[in-house]
Amino acid sequence: MDDIKLSISQIRDAASQAFTHASGLKGGHNADYIPYLANIDPDLFGLSIVLTDGTHFDFGDTTYEFGIESVSKVPTAILAMKQHTPRGVLEKIGADATGLPFNSIFAILLENDHPSTPLVNAGAISACSMISPAGDADAKWKAITDNIADLCASPVKLIDELYKSESETNFNNRAITWLLKNYNRIYDDPMMSLDLYTRQCSLGITCSQMAAMAATIASGGRNPISGKPVFDTEIAPKITTLIATVGFYQHSGDWLYTSGLPAKSGVGGGVLGVLPGVMGVAAFAPPLDDAGNSVKAQAALLEIMQTLGLGIMNGQNVTIVK
Ligand code: GLN
């Protein structure tokens, strides 16, 4: 096994350079199927890193609150595992990559009536239906948002305009929800479960909060910013597996092969990356590629991994020296 020693300033310099290089990139488009997202300033760009010892770096627009969108699938999958165990989530939802777009109905049919993973729309709606206490939308919402606040070490709040915009246009997700109901994969009221999913996607989050969430996963469940234990250590490799296998949807394999970084994207432009035992990273820039992954965010994260010679599959023992 390779031993690799990195200093904090090496990591900060790699991130600073990656941020500068990615800032100049053109290409991609804001998501426009949710009207609110189409109008966000496409030049916003932030990059945050939180190391497992709590050291953090922020570059650019890291205090801007953007729509968390699909990155919200990560904390709610963690909550479902906390409440029902990782095995319970495997049995009720599954852990298979779809290789298809995040909102694919075809994927549900191909998986033999199975939502397949909590990190695509179908599985995420199913995960919202699993959250306790069943039947109580307010208490479920509180459980979902308290968990996100614990993971971020600070509260997040709803972007009302985004929630409205998304609720008025989520016809595909309504179809997914009823199809899952037909296959007995919705474990509470279907439209309440969809509404919780839509609301969680409409939460505003900053890049630094997202990096704290990533670092909590990288630290095995203990938030390195607040010091609070948020989830059991056994959940960390499970959620990281889900992120690695499907975090970039139909580009997940190419992304992991190239970057070595398990990462989860959202159509708001956020990307959360987890390098277990080392760091959590997050980047945010609205223009997306054809799979819905932020162009600048992926470029920045890829460059950091390559400059530092890191990768989850590298079999490295990484030590960070002061
Ligand atoms: N709320 C969005 C949707 O359901 C989330 C999609 C995403 O971020 N990939 O379509």
SS (H, E, C) 224-289: CCCCCECCCCCHHHHHHHHHHHHCCHHHHHHHHHHHCCCEEECCCCEEEEEECCCEEEEEECCCEC
Q: What tokens does 232 get?
A: 């059991």
Spatial separation of the C-alpha atoms in residues 229 and 223, rounded to whole Å: 6
Spatial separation of the C-alpha atoms in residues 36 and 128, rounded to whole Å: 23
Spatial separation of the C-alpha atoms in residues 84 and 133, rounded to whole Å: 12
Q: Ligand 1 centre and the CA of 58: distance in Å?
A: 26
Does ligand 1 come within 6 angstroms of the Cβ of 266?
yes
Does ligand 1 come within 6 angstroms of the Cβ of 102?
yes
Which of 171-176's residues contact partners 24+ apart within 8 Å by CB, and which partners?
172/103, 172/105, 172/121, 173/103, 173/121, 173/125, 173/197, 173/198, 175/105, 176/103, 176/105, 176/108, 176/121, 176/122, 176/125
- Angle at alpha carbon of residue 54, lines to 61 and 70, rounded to 5°: 50
pLDDT given at position 99: 87
Q: Ligand 1 centre and the CA of 196: distance in Å?
A: 13
Residue 108: how many other CB atoms lie within 10 Å: 25
**Nearby residues of 184 by Cβ (< 8 Å), 6 or more positions away:** none
Q: At what angle do helices 160-167 and 190-201 cross, to 10 degrees?
A: 140
Q: Ligand 1 centre and the CA of 73: distance in Å?
A: 9
Q: Give the chain's count of helices (H) and strands (E).
A: 13, 10
Mutate to test the pocket of ligand 1, among 72, 103, 272 (most ligand atoms within 8 A of CB): 103
Judge whether 225 and 296 are in contact, CB under 8 Å: no
- The residues pairing with 318 across neighbouring beta strands, listed in sequence order, are 4
Q: What tokens does 206 get?
A: 């900053």
- The residues pairing with 49 across neighbouring beta strands, listed in sequence order, are 57, 281
pTM of full prediction above 0.95: yes
Which ligand 1 atom sits nearest the alpha carbon of residue 249? 9
Q: Ligand 1 centre and the CA of 82: distance in Å?
A: 23
Does ligand 1 come within 6 angstroms of the Cβ of 69?
yes
**Nearby residues of 12 by Cβ (< 8 Å), 6 or more positions away:** 49, 57
Query: Which residue has a Cα nearest atom 4 of ligand 1?
Result: 121
Which ligand 1 atom sits nearest the alpha carbon of residue 173? 4
pLDDT of the chain, 322 residues: tens digit per residue:
678 999 999 999 999 999 999 999 999 999 999 999 999 999 999 999 999 999 999 999 999 999 999 999 999 999 999 999 999 999 999 999 988 889 899 988 888 777 789 999 999 999 999 999 999 999 999 999 999 999 999 999 999 999 999 999 999 999 999 999 999 999 999 999 999 999 999 999 999 999 999 999 999 999 999 999 999 999 999 999 999 999 999 999 999 999 999 999 999 999 999 999 999 999 999 999 998 999 999 999 999 999 999 999 999 999 999 8
Does ligand 1 come within 6 angstroms of the Cβ of 247?
no
How many CA atoms lie less than 13 Å away from 162 in the CB half-sphere?
25
pLDDT given at position 112: 76
Q: What tokens does 46 get?
A: 């932030």
**Nearby residues of 9 by Cβ (< 8 Å), 6 or more positions away:** none
Q: Ligand 1 centre and the CA of 212: distance in Å?
A: 22
Judge whether 297 and 269 are in contact, CB under 8 Å: yes
